[in-house]
Structure 1
């Protein structure tokens, strides 16, 4: 009996030791996760900084170059680097409304370069007005690079930790966001607020397009509680642990869609992880969704990811969407889907979907362009036959596929075309012949590599 009195204290002591070891391990794992996540955000930031610095350099070269061939290369680089910078920025733990102008700036730099690239391919040179716009863009890009360097210095000296910025508890939100942005990126937002040039060009983010009233939202208003329910259902109500409203999107001028925006804490995840989602005030449509989690060890193919993206759109009610191009980076596959009405592809009605290649999860969704432009079109019948359109295509172009497509021209204008995909001297091209008058409207070069397919 004497010995039995010591058994319980010994068992409790052993249990306490095990509990302490377990708790310490959990603490260490959580710290390791925070370090890993912060390192991932730092890598995204450095990549974005490099992209923007490369844009600035290429803009400077384009202003100095007199060679049309050289400018084609430089403008292509500006377009691609701007797009990659915008993608990196969208994954950083920063509120969208604070950087709406920066995101619009990066989109417009890329699209303006793309439009000038098309003109160069048509044999045109830079006009004095276009050169002036490039000077302004180069100036703003240099300023943005300077502010990013200030943030870089804070990261190097340990004055800034992305995990602190990422926390979205109500009390900490304004404080941590201010710490990140007040001295640096918000300066850029203020600088371009009043002086940023209005760029007129043929691109999806052209100002004349952004000023158009959205056509695809439907009617009726939703309140904040209804929008919160829509956001939760979009992610999956069973996957939602906590949903917090933190902005209403009044400054989301890039999409020009008034919306409620929410931060969602997923179930069975670290407390610091959050998904961000925007719901339109009119119609209650999900405008965009971002899940900026790191992706490690890709396991699924881009083809499998495309199937996941298509299934996701079908489940969300976006029928008749077809993939047109893709881009792979950082363990993520980005797909651009266009709406198809009967046998006609409508390029203006496009949706972007991002899929994580580790488990096939949807980590990004952007329907802003679709919601801006989608409506019941009265698509005209072709006035020339397919054979007549073929005659407008250059001899030696090996045609592989033909279809009808509505393509955007001059901002909001659309035109019905025959789309000819094929090869010329070993390179892939797409030629658009107007189905109403037989004019050659556009020529796109298709670039395929291990990271996806792009058209310039």
Structure 2
């Protein structure tokens, strides 16, 4: 009996064992293939990064080497600098930089890219490089040489010692104290960059990295108790349980967060500025049911919410629907001119048509009464710059941020072309195209509603 049972089970167990071993072998092979692929990607990205930083240094030198009046070559050189820094940034993103100390160097490359782009897009024949900008280019040339040399040394060490990025990634994840050529090399480069003297990037680039602080706001400093009253007034919930917390106390970024309990199933969250007590953010975290309300009803709810809470002269410019919510983006208006910097977004629950969210950071920090200049060119002149095939639906004046980060008065045209809807912005002073963007039908509908 035992022999018969063994003669049956033994072959079965043998087959199962062989199958399990083969499955394990296949799994190991697939795992190794994934690791090899990741390692190859890391190696390629690092070597490409080293190469492009070296080319960046050379291109900065070429740009400085020509005559100071060679605007055409300056433009070409700056475009190449922007291209190389953009490629370098892309390669950094392919490395496990979340675990590597390279934040300062990455930010430095980002600033070089923006400096080169914003300088090259302007008309250099009318506004050539200034002495300060030449000084900045010379500084970047020197700094990029140092970074290039350090990366090249790392590259030599990686190749000579056959170092693996996967080992460096594991070491970084474990926060190991043991020396690692790759991690230590990146840390050394990052430390050098952090110690560079302050560079004059110019107002257009500096404004991109300018952090919003309470110094930018008007009004008096408010207390937690005053914020509590504002939260109660905003939510219109009598005898509500309101908790207020101060964020970044004593700094230029101080703000207040208020949490309001509205029944068992809903919590209202709000952020206010400490200076002026202005509302930055609002969210009703209730569960949202199946969508039942129409676009028109949602839009009416958003309009009513803004009016009720003191956001005056706002106009919807776009609409996005996600699951059971709709998001309307509004901009301010002044004397019939759209003010795009004064932007905020509302979130409407489509089950009951209730406004359940507000994001107003841009509006709070940018909103002020502007002195709007008179257009230099007429509507008719601006319209001539449009593609003749574009069927214009609407035209109005608007203020937008241009590529230099400055506010520009434009003629805004919306219309159909090639089966799509576009917004085109023509500078009201120069007649040049400042920007063009494709609109969805929902955006067009939101913008056309009064």
Asked if these proteins are the same fold (TM beyond 0.5), I'd say yes
Q: Rg: which structure is higher?
A: 2
Q: Quick one: which of 432, 435, 441 aligns to 2:427?
A: 432
Which runs of 5 or more residues in structure 2 are unaligned? 223-247, 256-270, 274-279, 283-317, 345-358, 416-423, 437-450
2:140 maps to 1:151: no
Residues 179/406 of structure 1: CA separation in 2 closer, same or farther (3 Å cut): farther
Report what 2:175 is aligned to. 173
Mapped contact 1:432–1:441 kept (Cα < 8 A)? yes
Report what 1:417 is aligned to. 410
Give the drift of 1:421.
9.8
Q: In 1, distance between residues paired with 2:321 and 2:364?
A: 18
Mapped contact 1:75–1:117 kept (Cα < 8 A)? yes
Mapped contact 1:63–1:135 kept (Cα < 8 A)? yes
Q: In 2, distance between residues paired with 1:98 and 1:200?
A: 24
Report what 2:379 is aligned to. 390
Mapped contact 1:165–1:176 kept (Cα < 8 A)? no
Partner-residue secondary structure (3-state), 2:212: coil
Report what 2:29 is aligned to. 28
Mapped contact 1:115–1:202 kept (Cα < 8 A)? no
Give the drift of 1:417.
3.2
Mapped contact 2:342–2:367 kept (Cα < 8 A)? no
Partner-residue secondary structure (3-state), 1:181: helix
Give the drift of 1:109.
0.6
Mapped contact 2:397–2:409 kept (Cα < 8 A)? yes
Give the drift of 1:208.
7.5
Q: In 2, distance between residues paired with 1:113 and 1:318?
A: 38
Q: In 2, distance between residues paired with 1:421 and 1:61?
A: 42
Report what 2:89 is aligned to. 86
* Cα distance per residue 1:303-326 (max 9 Å; x no partner): xxxxxxx999957999457xxxxx
Which runs of 5 or more residues in structure 1 are unaligned? 220-249, 251-255, 259-279, 286-309, 322-338, 351-369, 423-428, 434-438, 447-456
State how many pairs are aligned: 317
Report what 1:407 is aligned to. 400
Range with greater deviation from structure 2 (83-92 or 375-384): 375-384
Mapped contact 2:377–2:431 kept (Cα < 8 A)? no
Q: Quick one: which of 114, 131, 138 aligns to 1:135?
A: 138
Mapped contact 2:59–2:81 kept (Cα < 8 A)? yes
Report what 2:42 is aligned to. 41
Give the drift of 1:348.
9.5
Partner-residue secondary structure (3-state), 1:98: coil
Report what 1:74 is aligned to. 77
Partner-residue secondary structure (3-state), 1:79: helix
Residues 58/318 of structure 1: CA separation in 2 closer, same or farther (3 Å cut): farther
2:49 maps to 1:56: no
Give the drift of 1:95.
2.6
Residues 372/106 of structure 1: CA separation in 2 closer, same or farther (3 Å cut): farther
Range with greater deviation from structure 2 (27-36 or 402-411): 402-411
Residues 397/409 of structure 1: CA separation in 2 closer, same or farther (3 Å cut): closer
Partner-residue secondary structure (3-state), 1:195: coil
Q: In 2, distance between residues paired with 1:97 and 1:313?
A: 38
Residues 313/160 of structure 1: CA separation in 2 closer, same or farther (3 Å cut): farther
Q: In 1, distance between residues paired with 2:18 and 2:99?
A: 46
State the structure with bigger RCO (CA 8 A, min sep 6), 1 or 2: 1
What are the equivalent positions in structure 2 for 1:282-361 lying under 5 Å apart?
319-320=327-328, 344=338, 346=340
When the two chains are superposed, the root-mean-square deviation of aligned CA atoms in Å is 5.1
What TM-score do the two structures reach when normalised by structure 1? 0.54
Residues 193/76 of structure 1: CA separation in 2 closer, same or farther (3 Å cut): same
What TM-score do the two structures reach when normalised by structure 2? 0.55
Q: In 1, distance between residues paired with 2:177 and 2:324?
A: 36
Report what 1:100 is aligned to. 103
Residues 347/194 of structure 1: CA separation in 2 closer, same or farther (3 Å cut): same
Mapped contact 2:382–2:411 kept (Cα < 8 A)? no
Give the drift of 1:160.
2.6
